[in-house]
Structure 1
Amino acid sequence: MVAVVSKGPRNLITDVAGLKVGNAQDDRLKSGSTVLTADKPFKASVHVMGGAPGTRETDLLAPDKTVTAIDALVLSGGSAFGLDACSGVMDGLRAQGRGYAVGAMRIPIVPGAILFDLINGGDKDWDENPYRALGRAALDAAAEDFALGSVGAGTGAMAAMQKGGLGSASMVLANGTTVGALVAVNSLGSVTTPGDRHFWAAAFEMDGEFGGLGPDPASGLVAPEPSRKEKAMMLHATAQANTTIAIVATDAPLSKTQCHRLAVTAHDGLARAIVPTHTPLDGDLVFGVSTGSGSSVDHHVFGEICAASAICLSRAVCRGIYEATHAEGDIIETYRATNQWA
């Protein structure tokens, strides 16, 4: 049971004190990058449950590895090309004097994860990888307030039945702890029930944040409809173009091991919001972050934080889909375009 007071004042992951998020995108490319950073280095870990992940420096985040804090996390489009967004973020952080000190050098620690958006109607015929510059621009844009939907890593994302996007949500627990989530939704599975009107995770919605239509009253929803995304992608001879990548965060003082467990538990939020999820053709991944000072929290408090992170992530997934906007050349429609009631 989660004792919730309310959404955070922004209903964004940046309601967690110290966090900032920046987006950068290229509308011609139909792709972009998103950066989460903080006022100072923060603890983080990660858990991967999809069968086709694309990552950079995530091994450092295992609980048994010696890195105790990082400087930023990157979510990016671009498949393997998008991993270079981390290099741009490293450039920017080094210019700020950030990073792990080794003699006279400072080495920013910037793990990242990518999604596949290379076949989404955008112009990908570049001569020079654009993602390093997108990563640097996203870092430069980092702030407490940021846009959702077709921005940053969510710019060219697609779910099974409609355009994907960047989503975020937050919760304040009764003890004052804040929990937040940030996600780029590019899933093989659907975020809406058959008929496209109701979100699978509608039961977790707070204050009409993704339309307020409530749960689907139908039952027996066990046979998914044919994927519009898959149909569109197969025109280009591929259906292996998925992945939902996310970050959950709290201002509670978690240990690195607890950050890992936070990420594990938050995957429940993906499973409640996307059907199916964690497939062999998704690279589903969640980072767990703590900005709090101190070593850890007790098991009871930690249990509430974990439960809240899963709920936040479910809501963030739905908000990413709900806030997506149409752009010229899209090969799949937005939720609002197909729903007059939205």
Structure 2
Amino acid sequence: MRKGPRNLITDVAGLRVGNARDDRLRSGTTVLLGDAPLACGVNVMGGAPGTRETELLAPDKLVPGVDALVLSGGSAFGLAACDGVSDGLRALGRGFAVGPVQVPIVPGAIVFDLLNGGDKDWDANPYPALGRAALEAAGADFGLGSEGAGTGAMTHRWKGGLGSASAVLDSGVTVGTLVVVNAMGSVTLQATRQFWAAPWEIEGEFGGLGLTGPYPTAEPAPAKRLGEATTIAIVATDAALDKAGLTRLATAAQDGMARAIVPSHTPFDGDLVFAVSTGAQPLPDPALTPFQLGHAAATVLARAIARAVHEARPRPGDLQPCWRVT
């Protein structure tokens, strides 16, 4: 397993990502877009999720694919970012055909960043415009850290952010992830700068500090208030998986969250993973490849979580330190 050329989710050919942020608001939105509709599954393990249209992704539901996925700040207000994306896709003629009508399918998930110091005293919800702007910015290259939906993210100790990573398997199949890290738990070993994800790091992609003992057995009390947290992610592959296979891939990817954030999946986080496939490559081995993909998804997600915090940048008014400047 090696990282892809960009070390981004867009190493899966046919995917684009766009970010939009509002520094006064201290929040933003990130959109994943496919050149064509994407088969999609989802797994929710946190106790406090905020989502849109995730029921459509169950294997027994009618809609075969999604036109885009939205990750956003703003808590419940941020789900309106999907409206802006839907409007943009409709203008492009994208969507699920129902007779002469095209209905864009745009599931989304949000993180809580309403108490991070930004100006949230708006008269009109700003997230539809952020969603439309993120869609229009979509491309193969995009910023990490304090960008898009990671603009105002925080964790137990460090400023959070937007992360991404990729891996190319020996079979040639590519797996990539995109994640917003706004966790109740810690991404590092208590007061140290060493990432829990260190065993899976490739080529010093998040500092190269390694992982040395002694290892702490417990974290102190949460630095964030209950209900302020969530980590939301997308794992993508070019391997041809159906909705059932992608639901299983999203479930396996949750292991990566548990490796990189301690604790994960609490009653107060809305931890969620979407999984999408472009279907470009037949499964090299229908029996073995899904096993390999699950391991790769968990590993790549752990790396992306550490990269999100590693790439965060300081801005005036921050309530937490950035990993890179301490």
1:252 equivalenced with 2:239 (yes/no): yes
User: Which shifted more, 297-306 or 86-95?
Assistant: 297-306
Counterparts in 2 of 1:39-188, with a 5 A limit?
Answer: 39-188=35-184
Partner of 1:311: 299
| SS of the residue 1:139 aligns to | helix
Aligned to 1:27: 23
Q: Deviations over 1:64-121 (max 9, x none)?
A: 1111111000000000000000000000000111001122211000000000000001
Code of the residue aligned with 2:250 in structure 1: it is A
- 1: CA distance, partners of 2:43 / 2:297: 14
1:285 partnered with 2:272: yes
Alignment length, in residue pairs?
325
Structure-1 residue corresponding to 2:322: 334
Code of the aligned partner of 2:275:
G
SS, match of residue 273 in structure 2? strand
Structure 2: state its 5+ residue gaps.
none
Q: Deviations over 1:102-155 (max 9, x none)?
A: 222110000000000000010000000000000000000000000000000000
| TM-score, length of structure 2 as denominator length | 0.98
1:164–1:321 CA contact under 8 A, matched in 2: yes
1:222 paired residue among 191, 214, 217? 217
Partner Cα distance (1:216, 1:164) in 2: 23
The Cα shift of 1:195 comes to 2.0
Give the counterpart letter for 2:158 in structure 1.
Q
Contact 2:71 2:232 in 1 (8 A): yes
Which amino acid counterpart does residue 179 of structure 2 have in structure 1? V
Which segments of structure 1 move beyond 4 Å, counting only runs of 4 or more? 293-297
C-alpha separation between the residues in 1 aligned to 2:196 and 2:220? 14
Q: After TM superposition, give the deviation of residue 217 of structure 1 in Å.
A: 2.4
* Corresponding residue for residue 259 of structure 2: 272
Specify the alignment match of 2:198 in structure 1. Answer: 202
In 1, the alpha carbon distance for the partners of 2:205 and 2:174 equals 18
Q: Percent same amino acid at aligned positions?
A: 62
Answer yes or no: is the 8 Å Cα contact 2:163–2:308 preserved in 1. Answer: yes
Are the equivalent residues in 2 in contact too, given 1:161–1:196 (CA < 8 A)? no
The answer for unaligned runs of 5 or more in structure 1 is 231-237
State the distance in 2 between where 1:30 and 1:225 align: 27
Counterparts of 1:98 and 1:29, CA distance in 2: 30
- Cα distance in 1 for partners of 2:256, 2:70 equals 20
Q: Is the 8 A contact 1:194 1:224 kept in 2?
A: yes
Rounded to whole Å, the distance in 1 between the matches of 2:287 and 2:150 is: 34
Alpha-carbon distance, 1:293 to partner: 4.2
Where does residue 234 of structure 1 map in the other structure?
none
Mapped to 1, the partners of 2:226 and 2:292 lie a distance apart of 38
What does the per-residue CA deviation read over 1:10-68, in whole Å, with 9 as the maximum and x for residues that have no partner?
00000001000000000000000000011000100100000000000000001111111
> Higher mean Cα deviation, 63-72 or 291-300?
291-300
- 2:1 counterpart of 1:13: no
Q: What secondary structure does 2:32 align onto?
A: strand
Decide whether aligned partners of structure 1 residues 20 and 302 sit closer, same or farther in structure 2, where only a CA change above 3 A counts: same
User: After alignment, is 209-218 or 111-120 more displaced?
Assistant: 209-218
Question: 3-state SS of the aligned residue for 1:189?
Answer: coil
**Is the 8 Å Cα contact of residues 193 and 216 (structure 1) preserved in structure 2?**
no
Post-superposition offset of 1:226:
4.2
Q: Could you state the TM-score of these two structures normalised by the residue count of structure 1? A: 0.93
Asked if structure 1 preserves the Cα contact closer than 8 Å seen for 2:173 and 2:281, the reply is no
Distance in 1 between the 2:180 and 2:78 partners? 13
- SS for the counterpart of 1:190 is coil
Distance, in Å, in 2 between the alignment partners of 1:276 and 1:53 is 16
Aligned partner letter, 1:15? D
